[in-house]
Amino acid sequence: MSPTAPTEDTPRKRGRVVAVLLAIARRVVVIVVLTSLLLPLFVVVANSFRSRMPVRRTPGELGFEYTDVAIQSTDGVTLASWWIPAGKTASARTMLVSHGVGANRDDILRFCPFLHAAGYNILAWDWRGHGQSSWARVTFGLKERHDVRAALDWLKANHPREAGWIGALAISMGAAIWIQAAPLVPEVRAFVLDSPFASLRTMLPFQYRYLPEVARGPFARLTAFYAGLVIGTGVDGVAPVAEIASISPRPLFIIHGTSDEVIPHTQSQLLDEVARQPKEVWIVPGAFHTGVREMHPEEYHRRVLAFLERAW
């Protein structure tokens, strides 16, 4: 038999393989740790410092007369706004209409025609850090509640006759802000809140619903920590559920879809559990985020207008 060629020492070869595997494992651990630390920070920063959606439409495109106005909030932030009078016949009833996070006031134009046709004046504005308003951090109600007060003060100072009866219709984050602002605006007589959230703390696990269940809690807690640093308060400082009882005895109408992919309808159920009478809740099977009106436009208009009429 011919002699075999010398082979590499097996233990040495195995040692190199183990070293390579350990190096790969270390890199994987570093990546996992960095992702765990940075993903929650990215979520907070991305939501607090939003890129602005341009205002592409105006009430004029719907055939409405309107005026561009600038409302000064309490901390100097300027809110780009529209004043839309009811029409040829003067009206003492005004609805303040508010958009959600990441949008601007042109998003609520879809809600204006049926309100305008029913004889309501409309005041709408871009939230701070949105649209054409001043740059500012989005705080999900911590500071925005004072923007609501500023808008109401502007209305009363500039259109006192039209401020005889005031109601609110708000969607998504705007609806959550209005709940937090309720104690500051006793003049507002009725609240229509479409797809609100109950609290940031109860929303956090939903934001990580695609992660393994074991990871959701730690990610939510780390996000809560970062939110306290960026927003300026702990997540428990943004809790509409803690304020919603203050709406009573003013009437409240909550609307939500069961297929909401942004804010689960269980958030409205949490609010309903705490809210006091008089209140109405309309949970719509299959409707997506702020999509109840698109799914059932005639019923939406009829229900909202009937609710407002009962609130006069």
Provide the residue count of the chain. Answer: 312
Lowest mean pLDDT segment, chosen from 24-38, 100-114, 214-228, 273-287: 24-38
- Average pLDDT of the residues in 221-225: 85
Nearest Cα to Cα of residue 46 among 230, 237, 263, 289: 230
Query: Which DSSP string corresponds to 262-279?
Result: SS-THHHHHHHHHPPSSE
**Residue extents of the structural domains in the chain:** 49-199+238-311
What is the pLDDT at residue 53? Answer: 84
Q: 36 pLDDT exceeds 80? A: no
Q: Write the burial class of residue 202 (CB in 10 Å: 0-12 exposed, 13-18 middle, 19+ buried).
A: middle
pLDDT confidence of 28, banded at 50, 70, 90?
A: low
Nearest Cα to Cα of residue 255 among 148, 158, 175, 154: 175
Inter-residue contact 260 to 285 (CB < 8 Å) = no
Helix (H) or strand (E) holding 172, with range, is: none
What is the pLDDT at residue 76? Answer: 93
Q: 114 pLDDT exceeds 70? A: yes
CATH superfamily of 49-199+238-311: Alpha/Beta hydrolase fold, catalytic domain (3.40.50.1820)
* Residue-wise pLDDT tens digits, 67-94: 999 999 999 999 999 999 998 788 999 9
Give this prediction's pTM.
0.86
pLDDT confidence of 162, banded at 50, 70, 90?
A: very high
Distant-in-sequence, close-in-space partners of 9: CB < 8 Å, separation ≥ 6: none
Nearest Cα to Cα of residue 69 among 5, 154, 153, 1: 154
